[in-house]
Amino acid sequence: MSSNKSILIIGGTVVNVSGEVLADVMIDQGVVQEVGPNISAKYAAENEGGPRRIDATSCVVTSAFVDLHTHLRENGRVESETIEKGSRAAVLGGYGAVVAMPNTEPAQDSVAVVEFVRMQGERAGLVDVVPSACITVNRAGLQLSPFHSLAQNGVTLYTDDGNGVQDPVIMRRAMEYAKELNITLMQHCEVSRLTEGAVMHEGCCSSHLGLPGWPSIAEVLMLQRDLELVRETGAKMHFLHLSTARSVELVRQAKNEGLPVTAEVTPHHFSLTDEKLSGFNTVFKVNPPLRTMEDV
């Protein structure tokens, strides 16, 4: 993606670790050389052999984002998304790298499938497509994925996203491998027995609509189990799309204790509530479900 020709990005709002500033950015050989207000004056015009100029007035200029959670659906559901289409969307949104979740068919539980995803990403050539792999074969929660083979082929992130790993034995063994191989497990925290048939948060709104509810405790219980397993095994663990206030509290506590855990929260979970579903609008039906005012 890098170009030998130097590029000057002019007049944008540069956002980086030190904040926001109105500045120009000079890039050469794919590397940022200088950031500062009005530095463009120092360089020759484009038609006089100077750098290529890009007007970024009223734009935000920043380093590329990384999306840790992308469902590219190739193979299996290519009518919904392909690696190429997903790459296009990513690059348009300012992303330089995306992690491909393993919910494909076949699932990303073997070196062959993982390599296919990586290759398709390279073929699209727009962003770095980083394949994750399953924790268990076909995300079925029964048999461990070939961690050694996958890790040897560079896979560092493992998840059964969409399915929480229900069996504590499987999860404990997976963590033993994770510690040994220095890889990270990502859990979709949901005790499935507590969410059978559920379509929205279990609470006032679901009680009123007569819809089977998805209790917060289904997330909290699995999170608590995994935190204890991390404490025991020392494996690195990332918790996907947490949705309850209690979950955030638990992760904060664990981090304070020095456990090697991280977590993510999505914008809709910290800005919208289950009230949005009171008119049965399925646009707001998400997994995990939108919670309550106390959680946002």
Contacting residues toward Zn ion, per CB under 5 A: 161, 188
What is the C-alpha to C-alpha distance for residues 200 and 206, in angstroms, rounded to an integer? 7
Would you give the binding string for other proteins spanning residues 246-285, x where CB under 8 A is met? ---------------------------------xx-----
Which helix H or strand E contains 158, and what residues bound it? strand 157-159
Comparison of 144 and 296: residue with beta carbon closer to other proteins: 296
Task: Name 45's Cβ contacts closer than 8 Å, sequence gap at least 6.
Answer: 53
Place of tokens 């289904």: 218
Place of tokens 């961690």: 147
Does 289 contact other proteins by CB under 8 A? no
What are the backbone dihedrals phi and psi of residue 54, each rounded to the nearest 5 degrees, phi first?
Answer: -120, 120
- In angstroms, what is the minimal distance from the CB of 27 to other proteins? 51
Exactly one of 19, 49, 210, 267 binds other proteins (CB under 8 A); which one? 210
What is the C-alpha to C-alpha distance for residues 126 and 64, in angstroms, rounded to an integer? 12
By a kind-dependent CB cut-off of 5 to 8 A, residue 202 interacts, out of Zn ion, other proteins, none, with: other proteins
What is the C-alpha to C-alpha distance for residues 35 and 19, in angstroms, rounded to an integer? 13
Comparison of 75 and 292: residue with beta carbon closer to other proteins: 292
Comparison of 109 and 161: residue with beta carbon closer to Zn ion: 161
Comparison of 92 and 193: residue with beta carbon closer to other proteins: 193
CA distances from 243 to 102, 178, 186, 202, 268 (A): 21, 25, 15, 13, 9
- In angstroms, what is the minimal distance from the CB of 101 to Zn ion? 5
Stretch that binds other proteins, among 26-34, 39-47, 176-184, 209-217 (CB under 8 A): 209-217
Does 121 contact other proteins by CB under 8 A? no
- In angstroms, what is the minimal distance from the CB of 194 to other proteins? 10
And the tokens for 174?
Answer: 């997976």
What is the C-alpha to C-alpha distance for residues 153 and 117, in angstroms, rounded to an integer? 13
Exactly one of 143, 149, 207, 253 binds other proteins (CB under 8 A); which one? 207
By a kind-dependent CB cut-off of 5 to 8 A, residue 161 interacts, out of Zn ion, other proteins, none, with: Zn ion
Cβ atoms of residues 272 and 243 within 8 Å: no
Residue of 202, 204, 225, 205 whose CA lies nearest to 215: 202
- In angstroms, what is the minimal distance from the CB of 197 to other proteins? 9
Interface contacts to other proteins, rule CB under 8 A:
196, 202-204, 206-211, 213, 215, 279-280
